[in-house]
Amino acid sequence: MKILSFILVVLILPTSIIAQKITTRAKNVLIIYSDDHSYHALGAAGNKEISTPNLDKLAKSGLMFTQTHVMGGHQGAVCIPSRVMLLTGRYVNRLPGDGNTIPDSIVSLPEVLRKQGYNTYHTGKWHSDKASHSRMFSTGGDIFFGGMHFPKFGGQEHPTVSLFDSTGVYSENRKRVSDIYSTTLYADNAIRFLSSSTANTNPFFCYVAFTSPHDPRTPPGNFATMYDPKKITLPANFLIKHPFDNGDLNVRDEQLLPVPRDPEATKKEIALYYGMVSEMDAQVGRILEALEKNGLKENTLIVFAGDNGLAVGQHGLLGKQNLYEHSIRVPMIMSGPDIPVNKKTEGFTYLSDITPTIIDYLEVKRPSSVEGRSLLPVIQDPSRKVRSSIYNVYGHWSRSIKSEDGYKMIVYNVDGIATTQLFNLKKDPLEIKDLSKEPAYNEKILQMRNLLKQQMTAAFDDLNIDLPDWGRKKNQKSRGS
């Protein structure tokens, strides 16, 4: 009996210690999500050419995750599964239709909090079905249903939006063309909510989903000329053309500039991209200022993250439809009560980890549909890690694996042509030198393939990279989807 009691104490003790470490929890949650924001497009990430003072300040006030990834997607609009993974903690291979429709069997973070009495608020982009949006949010501002603000529908300058409809119907007569820029519009909405009696009376979950810095890259006002293309440094991994067919070279994003890529035209795109990021940063500053002005900052957990990265000339690519670091890694910052101040963690994380982390932080019951891992141990000790490798997917023709020792392997199967790339990220963080053809790395490639297969199984990936065509189903094409 004494032995049994001792075992129970040992089992219970770690949990009680963890519970004691989080002494002050926020009542409210504010999530700000950017669109096509690569991890490197941030001053706090070490970029000396970009100005992001508000996000840099947020990073200093909290914990910055330097190795956060979108798990990927099976089609060009990676932002669809990304946003669903953020809100549900689900893995990409378990999202029906890549997240176009979210069934009620997948229970989201805002749904969990709504049942706890939270006001769940949303403004900005929504890329899934309207029924799931209605389940998640009790209130909201201007909502954009779609992937990007196409110029023919007003662009970023005059986005076409719908006023939040509690019935979830969203009839055409509720649509309107805004007379202000997209980020200003969504920031204004968020500020009105944060200044309302509702936000100051009841706990809230506020989700601000920007459509910037996604193209069209048309930064307003002084932000349009903030960066001189002549002073932009061309990335060291810039190429005029991708060295081989990666499976999706003709997707819309890749057609924004002609091939071969012109260095000067690429620098102009980078300058505009940075202008978009800096303008969005200014709007983030306005939201955070409103949070503080309304006396909510000390009681709010703030999460900033990007939905996916972007190439903008790196490796001869422009978009996010690839598995290079610039496209799968995103910025992520957490700040608030009991979050470490001015700290960074290099542990591997997914955007899917945000939902279980917030659920555990708030001490509410986790839905069985959540698959991500809680980062609460990392919040308690930034040196901790929750996983030892990162698996990524794009399309039905490319997969990648990254291990703790710094190696990364990408494998492709495009029209029956198999290609492998191997990089040592510790020595070559920009993935310039492919080691796959060097005999000395044959054993490492074998190890990485075995690790990839293990992680594919763990992530519910049904392809078999050992088969000639990866065992694709008949309705799965070798490219484009």
Measured between alpha carbons, how far is 96 from 168 in angstroms, rounded to an integer?
21
Statement to judge: residues 333 and 317 lie in one domain: yes
At residue 364, the pLDDT reads: 96
Statement to judge: residues 292 and 440 lie in one domain: no
User: Does residue 464 belong to any structural domain of this protein?
Assistant: no
Measured between alpha carbons, how far is 475 from 438 in angstroms, rounded to an integer?
36
Statement to judge: residues 186 and 292 lie in one domain: yes
Q: Which 8-state DSSP code applies to residue 294?
A: T
User: Does residue 372 belong to any structural domain of this protein?
Assistant: yes
User: Does residue 425 belong to any structural domain of this protein?
Assistant: yes
Packed helices 263-293 and 53-61: angle between N→C axes, nearest 10 degrees: 60
Lookup: tokens for 430? 């920009």
Of 365, 387, 409, at which residue does a domain stop?
387
Statement to judge: residues 115 and 199 lie in one domain: yes
Element spanning 120, H or E: strand 119-126
Statement to judge: residues 142 and 120 lie in one domain: yes
Cβ-based neighbours of 343, under 8 Å, separated by 6 or more: 62, 63, 64, 382
User: Does residue 478 belong to any structural domain of this protein?
Assistant: no
Residues of the chain with confidence (pLDDT) below 70: 1-23, 474-481
Statement to judge: residues 366 and 399 lie in one domain: no
Q: What is the dihedral of CA 346, 351, 355, 356, to 10 degrees?
A: -50
User: Does residue 86 belong to any structural domain of this protein?
Assistant: yes
Packed helices 182-194 and 263-293: angle between N→C axes, nearest 10 degrees: 10
Output the domain CATH number for residue 435.
Answer: 3.30.1120.10
Of 348, 371, 387, at which residue does a domain stop?
387
pLDDT one-digit tens code per residue, 113-169: 999 999 999 999 999 999 999 999 999 999 999 999 999 999 999 999 999 999 999
**Contact at 8 Å (CB) between 399 and 452?**
yes
User: Does residue 451 belong to any structural domain of this protein?
Assistant: yes
Residue linked to tokens 């309107």: 176
pTM for the full model?
Answer: 0.94
Residue 397 belongs to what domain range?
390-458
Statement to judge: residues 225 and 325 lie in one domain: yes
Of 387, 415, 449, at which residue does a domain stop?
387
Statement to judge: residues 289 and 426 lie in one domain: no
Q: Which amino acid is at 399?
A: R
Q: In degrees rounded to 5, what are phi and psi of residue 187? A: -65, -40
Statement to judge: residues 111 and 194 lie in one domain: yes
**Contact at 8 Å (CB) between 301 and 334?**
yes
Cβ-based neighbours of 281, under 8 Å, separated by 6 or more: 51, 52, 53, 54, 55
Residue from 274, 282, 286 nearest 226 by CA: 274
Our count of domains for the chain comes to 2
Q: List, as one string, the DSSP characters of 347-396.
A: S-EEGGGHHHHHHHHHT-PPPTT--S---HHHHH-TT--S-SEEEEEETT
**Contact at 8 Å (CB) between 35 and 210?**
yes
Statement to judge: residues 224 and 363 lie in one domain: yes
313 Cα distance to chain centroid: 20
Buried b (16+ CB within 10 A) or exposed e, 429-438: ebbeebbbee
At residue 354, the pLDDT reads: 98
Statement to judge: residues 400 and 265 lie in one domain: no
**Contact at 8 Å (CB) between 83 and 210?**
no
Measured between alpha carbons, how far is 234 from 426 in angstroms, rounded to an integer?
21
Measured between alpha carbons, how far is 449 from 344 in angstroms, rounded to an integer?
30
User: Does residue 479 belong to any structural domain of this protein?
Assistant: no
Measured between alpha carbons, how far is 161 from 163 in angstroms, rounded to an integer?
7
Element spanning 132, H or E: helix 130-136
Give the strand pairing for 329-330 and 63-65. unpaired
At residue 40, the pLDDT reads: 97
Output the domain CATH number for residue 103.
Answer: 3.40.720.10
Helices (H), 253-375: 263-293, 325-328, 354-362
Statement to judge: residues 231 and 247 lie in one domain: yes
User: Does residue 5 belong to any structural domain of this protein?
Assistant: no
At residue 20, the pLDDT reads: 40
